[in-house]
Amino acid sequence: MKSKLSLLLILSITFIAFTVVGTLSHEYGHILVAKYFGYETKLHYGSMNYEDNSSELKLADSLVKKNEKAILSKKHFPDKKKLDKLWNTINFKHLIITVGGPVQTILTGTIGFILLLFRRKKILENGMKILDWLYVFLSLFWLREVCNLTMSVASAILKGKKNYFGGDEKNIALMLEIPKGSIAIPLAIIGLGIALFVIFKIIPKEQRLLFISSGILGGITGFILWLRILGPIVMP
């Protein structure tokens, strides 16, 4: 009984820690791309922002000011092709920055899952080792896609809104001019499939209930502690 309680406590604390790690590493996915493009960035507890001081934006702004009357009256002007090309470049960079966060999360989750698949036979024979637990938590980065969709749908239902999608996945879909759920739904399905496989095919049966319980306890606690209490103080 003591060992089970110890495992529950350890796993719960790990879930809390990985809630913070997962959130910040996701934002660093955005930041790395933004810095690659030369933008100034700032990290917050649950988000990031960047300032576009690129030469493309400055030139686009100058062309807009120069041709403001023609643009407002929707008339053709000599710089239109040049301005359109600049906006395409700027919008593409902003799209890639938005993609950077989900890609980081998905890549981390996929690496963890692949490592677990390689370790599966050993786990079935010898049980879970410390590294195996690490791979489990890395693979569950995929749960972000499930949680995001679940929370956005639940929020929409509770508030009586018709917009069931949110976050980066919705923004990427809007930038690509495709239906809002085109990215969120498939990623959530994949994430749920990976999570279920890890829980029911990787984690030993005798530790499964403890793991699920610690996930609920630690996940909710981590969310409240970091995103509602500590995060806004430590990294406003």
Tell me the pLDDT tens digit for each residue of 52-76: 988 899 999 999 999 999 999 989 8
Determine the average pLDDT of the residues in 151-176. 92
- Give the whole-number percent of the chain exceeding pLDDT 70: 99
**Each residue's pLDDT tens digit, 5-56:** 898 999 999 999 999 999 999 999 999 999 999 999 999 999 999 999 888 9
Long-range contacts of 176-179 (CB under 8 A, 24+ apart): 176/95
pLDDT at 189 over 60: yes
Interaxial angle between packed helices 130-139 and 80-126, expressed in degrees from 0 to 180 and rounded to the nearest 10: 150
Determine the average pLDDT of the residues in 94-101. 98
| pLDDT of 188 | 98
Question: In whole angstroms, how far apart are CA 35 and each of 4, 23, 117?
Answer: 45, 19, 34
pLDDT tier for residue 176 given thresholds of 50, 70 and 90: very high
Longest dimension (CA), the chain: 78
In 3D space, the residue among 154, 142, 155, 219 whose CA is nearest the CA of residue 186 turns out to be 142
Backbone angles phi, psi at 49, to 5 degrees: -140, 160
Q: Which two tokens stand for residue 30?
A: 């955005």
- For residue 180, the 8-state DSSP code is T
